[in-house]
Structure 1
């Protein structure tokens, strides 16, 4: 098993950043099969597998904005970002991807995105790879 980390700089409050290549880079040379699990170490960001199409990425951001209002939550009394926590809870902090023939076994249209819900920020992603 191997583990590595990388950081992602985001530039807006709610956005998506393609991290597929950075997760793929964590797969050790010579590993034929296994799994790669990526985990974002934050409560106001998530990871999702989705198509990398600009309009769809915009639709995802709009969907999260429409689903979770920006204001009116109890946690806002503490630091004003309850909407970010709720949006990230819907996305989830991790993804697990099979590895086949030494590569991430994503479908034709699948990419992995960090979904930033409280940016701009610097986010840390941990990738754990297990296999043979």
Structure 2
């Protein structure tokens, strides 16, 4: 079985946001799969997807703080600056974290670890809604 769906995530402030439940709610087809894969792909260059800690919110704020050190705003060597000081750092963060995640499906559930959740990593100060393409494969 193959299934694909576009999932719209409402605009979020800059930071790391848990979207696991939103993904599961948008894809009830997961429950019908004994074994499979979910691929999530974000169709943007200034946001990304990650899997990490789902319990302690300080992990998400620490991730934001650390990535702001890795890709600071207003670096004097940036040439791509016409969309604002957060734009080039957003592209760098997106490349570092990536545009997709693949998650196993086992017995009708995402086979995430106990403390794992799916993050939308929003790297812009004033982002719009984000589009994910979810592709399910399995039986």
TM-score, normalised to structure 2's length?
A: 0.87
**How far has the Cα of 1:27 moved from its partner?**
4.8
Instruction: Say if 1:27 and 1:103, in contact at 8 Å, map to a contact too.
Output: no
Corresponding position of 1:42: 44
Query: What is the CA RMSD across the aligned residues, in angstroms?
Result: 1.3
Instruction: Say if 1:8 and 1:124, in contact at 8 Å, map to a contact too.
Output: yes
Corresponding position of 2:11: 10
CA offsets per residue over residues 6-34 of structure 1, 9 Å max, x none? 1112332x212211123223251421110
CA offsets per residue over residues 10-62 of structure 1, 9 Å max, x none? 332x2122111232232514211100001111000000000122110000000
Partner secondary structure for residue 79 of structure 1: coil
Where do 5+ consecutive residues of structure 2 fail to align? none
TM-score, normalised to structure 1's length?
A: 0.92
Which residue of the other structure, out of 102, 105, 112, is the alignment partner of 1:99? 105
* 1:1-132 alignment runs, 5 A limit: 1-12=2-13, 14-25=14-25, 26-28=27-29, 29-52=31-54, 53-72=56-75, 73-76=78-81, 78-80=82-84, 81-118=87-124, 119-132=126-139
**How far has the Cα of 1:122 moved from its partner?**
0.8
Q: What is the alpha-carbon distance in structure 1 between the residues aligned to residue 37 and residue 67 of structure 2?
A: 29
Q: How many residues align?
A: 130
Where do 5+ consecutive residues of structure 1 fail to align? none
Distance verdict in 2 for CA 1:130–1:27, change over 3 Å = farther
Instruction: Say if 1:10 and 1:17, in contact at 8 Å, map to a contact too.
Output: no
